[in-house]
Structure 1
Amino acid sequence: MMGAALLAVLSLGSVGGAHLLSAARWTWRAPRIGIALWQALGLCWGLSTIGALLGAAMLPYGRGVAGGLAGLPGDGAARLGVVNLAALLAAVTLTAVLLVMLAYAVVRVVGARRRHRALLALVSRRDAAVPGTLVVDHPGAAAYCVPGVRSSKVVVSKGTLDLLDSGELAAVLAHERAHARERHDLVLLPFASLRHVFPQFGLVGRCLDAVELLIEMAADDRARHGRPPRELATALLRFAAARPGPAPRGALGVANTPDIPVMARVNRLLEPESLPRATRAAAAAAVPVVAGLPLLLLVMPH
C-alpha cells in the first residue's frame, strides 16, 4: 500500500514540477541541464503513474509492484478483486497508449522527412558559398535542418543568403548543425507524442513549448562557440522581421518560434548570465534522482 501511495504522490508531484518548470527562467542560463531535467520529469511521470496503478492492482500480493507482477502468471487473476483488475487494466491501457502514440509520432516524422528529402532532391542545389548545405531558390527566409540517422541535411533558402551577411549566415548554419549533431529531434518526440495523447491539457502544450525553447537556446550556445554572439543575435532579429514560415514537419528551424521567445534568445546571447555553481550542481544532481526514484519504488518490495 505504501509503495502505491508513494508512486501516486510522485506522479502528482511530477505534474506540479512540470507546472513550475514550464514557468522557470533559470533554465535559460543552463539549457542542457534544463532539457535533461525535463526528460527526467517526463520519465518520472510515466513510470510513477503506471507504477501507482500497478501498485494498486498488486495489493493482494503484498510484495510491491515487481513482486506482485512476478506472482501474477502463476496465480492468474484469482487474488485480484474488481478494483485491482480495474487498476491493472488502466495501467496496461495507459502503457499501450503511450507506446503506440510514441511509435505513431516516430513513423509520422520519419515519413515526413523521407518525403521532404525526396522533394529536396528535386528542388535544391549546392552552392560553393555554403558548402555542405542545400540551397532552395525561394525568396522567403528559411533555414532548417532535416535530421537523420545516417546523415542530416541543412537547408537554406536563396532569400536567407540575400538577407544575412557572411558572419550571420555562418552562425545560423552552426546553429542548425548543432541541432543535427545533438539529435534534438529525438528529445522532442516524447513530448510531441504526449501532446497527442492529452491534447486537451494546456500544461502538456506548455511543456512542449518550454522544451522547444531550451533546445533552440542549447543550439544557440553551440553556435556561438568561437564566434561573436552578436552575429547570431542579429540573424535571429532579421529572421523575426522577415516572418519566416514554420519549418517542414520533422525539421528544426532557426527562428520558427513566436517573437517573445526569439527576443529572449537574443537577450541571452547579448547579455549572457551564468547559473550559480551551487544551483547548477543541484539541478544536475536532481536529474538522476527524479528519473530513478520511481524505478526504485517499482522494484522494492513493500
Structure 2
Amino acid sequence: MFWASYCLAALALVLAWPVPIALSRAKWPARSPFTALVLWQAIALAGGLSMIGAMLTWGLEPLGPNLIDALRGLGNILLNGAPATTLGLVHVFALSAAVLLTAHLLFTLLLTYYRIRRSRNRHRDMLTLLSSPSATRPATVVINHPTPVAYCLPGGARSVTVLSDGLLDMLSDDELSAVLTHEKAHLAQHHHLLLWAFAAWRAALPWLPTSQLAQQSVNELIEMLADDDALAQVPSETLVRAVAIVGTGAAPTDRGIPAPAVSTPLLGSPDELEQLGTVHRLSRLLTPQPPLPAWQRTAVLILSGLLLAVPTTLLVAPGIV
C-alpha cells in the first residue's frame, strides 16, 4: 500500500486544484449541463475519497498489503491488544488525520443539512404570514413586493413556488409559464440536494478556492437544466425576456434586454456571482450552441466512472501498487 498512498495523494491534488479550475473555465458544460453535473459530482467524491484514502493507506501500510488485511490488523490491535510496535508515529498521525477528516466532512454535511432545513422552516413560516396562495396555480404563493422575484422552496409534499406581485405585473402569460416551468424543474429534479452537497463541500474546505468554483459552476448548471425544461414549453425569446426580468429586476426596454453590469472576477461576492450566472444564462439562450455529441457525452460519463473507480481500486485491490 506504500505506492497506493502516493498515487491517491497525487490524484487528490489533481482533483483539488487544476481539474476543477479547467472545468470551471470550459465552454462545453453549457452544451450538456447534465453531463457536466455528473462530472462535478465524480470530481468531488473521488477527490474526497483520495484525500482520505491517501492518509489511510499511509497509516495502515505496516499492517498489511491491502486495506482489508490492514484494517483487520488494526482491529486486532484495538480490540485484542495486539502489539502496535509496527506502527510509527508518522503512521499514527496519518491514521488520526484520516479519521478526523472523515469526521469533519460527515459532520459538515449533516450540519449544513440542519442549517438549510432550519432556514427553510423559518422561511416557510414567514411565507405563511406574508404570502397568499395563488388562486389559479397550485403549490404557488404570491408575496406583496414590487421587485420581480421567483424561486422555489423545496419541502417534499410542502414544496412551493414563490412569486412576487412585481413579477406578475411585468410578465406576460407566456413568460410567467416559462418561469413556473423553470422553478418546477428545480423541484422535480431535486436540485436542492446537489446544492446541499456542494454547499457542504465548500463549508468543509473553505480554504480551497476550487470548492467555491465548484459550487458556483453547479449553481449555473442546474439553472441551465431548468432553462432547458422551460424551452420545451415556450419559445427562447420568451424565456430570455423572463430571465432578464428576474435577473436584473427590471423590465426589458424597447432598445433590448438589460444586461447586469458586473465584473468577472475568478472569485467574487455572492451578488456578483449570481449576476454573473444570469449573464451566462442569457448568453447561452441568445447564442445557442449545438448539444454535445453523444460520443463526447458518453466519454465524459465513462471518465466520471473511472474517477470513482480508480481510488476505490487503489484502496481495496490487493497488491495493485
Residue type of the alignment partner of 1:178 = A
For residues 242 and 273 of structure 2, the distance between their equivalents in structure 1, rounded to whole angstroms, comes to: 14
Q: 1:236 to 1:256 in 2, by over 3 A?
A: farther
SS in structure 2 of the partner of residue 80 of structure 1: coil
What amino acid does structure 1 have at the position aligned with 2:30? W
Q: How does 1:128-147 map to 2 (within 5 A)?
A: 128-147=135-154
Deviations 1:103-162 (A, max 9, x none): 100000001111111111122112234343111111111110011233311110111101
Question: In the alignment, what sits opposite 2:282?
Answer: 266
Letter in 2 for 1:152: S
The answer to whether the Cα contact below 8 Å between 2:108 and 2:200 also exists between their aligned partners in 1 is yes
Compared with structure 1, are the counterparts of its residues 18 and 192 closer, same or farther at alpha carbon in structure 2 (3 Å cutoff)?
Answer: same
Partner residue, 2:75: 73
Aligned to 1:205: 212
Shift of 1:225: 1.3
Rounded to whole Å, the distance in 2 between the matches of 1:91 and 1:19 is: 25
Provide the TM-score with structure 2 as the length reference.
0.86
1:283 alignment partner, one of 300, 303, 307: 300
User: One-letter code of the match for 1:63?
Assistant: P
What is the rounded CA distance, in whole Å, between the counterparts of 1:301 and 1:211 in structure 2?
36
- CA distance in 2 between partners of 1:24 and 1:301 (Å): 37
Question: What are the superposed Cα offsets for residues 203-246 of structure 1, whole Å, 9 maximum, x if unpaired?
Answer: 221111111111111111112113212211111111233179xx
1:1-302 paired onto structure 2 within 5 Å: 1-15=2-16, 16-76=18-78, 77-242=84-249, 258-273=274-289, 274-302=291-319
Distance (Å, rounded) in 1 between the aligned partners of 2:148 and 2:73: 61
Q: Is the 8 A contact 2:20 2:213 kept in 1?
A: no
Q: Distance in 1 between matches of 2:59 and 2:66?
A: 10
- Greater mean alpha carbon deviation, residues 73-82 or residues 286-295: 73-82
Helix, strand or coil at the partner of 1:258: helix
Counterpart of 1:130 in 2: which secondary structure? coil
Instruction: Give yes or no for contact 2:148–2:245 (8 Å, CA) kept in 1.
Output: no
Could you report, residue by residue, the CA deviation over 1:249-280 in whole angstroms, capped at 9, with x for unpaired residues?
xxxxxx99533321221232233221123321
Structure of higher RCO (CA pairs closer than 8 Å, 6+ residues apart): 1
Q: 1:70: how far off? A: 2.3
Alpha-carbon distance, 1:42 to partner: 0.2
Query: 2:3 is matched by which residue type in structure 1?
Result: M
Gaps in structure 2 of 5+ consecutive residues: 79-83, 251-259, 261-270
Secondary structure of residue in 2 paired with 1:154 = strand
1:53 deviation in Å? 0.3
- Give 1:217's aligned amino acid: M
- The aligned amino acid for 1:45 is G
Which amino acid in 2 is paired with 1:189?
W
Distance 1:126 1:93 in 2: 47
* Contact 1:51-1:65 within 8 A present in 2 as well: no
Provide the aligned C-alpha RMSD in A: 1.9
Which one has a bigger Cα radius of gyration?
2
Using structure 1 for the length normalisation, give the TM-score: 0.91
Q: CA deviation at 1:78?
A: 4.1
Separation in 2 of the partners of 1:150 and 1:242?
30
Aligned partner of 1:270: which letter? L
Secondary structure, counterpart of 1:150 in structure 2:
helix
Which moves more between the two structures, 70-79 or 220-229? 70-79
**1:251 corresponds to:** none
Which deviates further from its counterpart, 74-83 or 98-107?
74-83
1: CA distance, partners of 2:206 / 2:312: 27
Where do 5+ consecutive residues of structure 1 fail to align?
245-254
d(CA) in 1 for partners of 2:41, 2:305: 10
Calculate percent identity across the aligned residue pairs: 38
User: Are 1:136 and 1:155, in contact at CA under 8 Å, matched by a contact in 2?
Assistant: yes
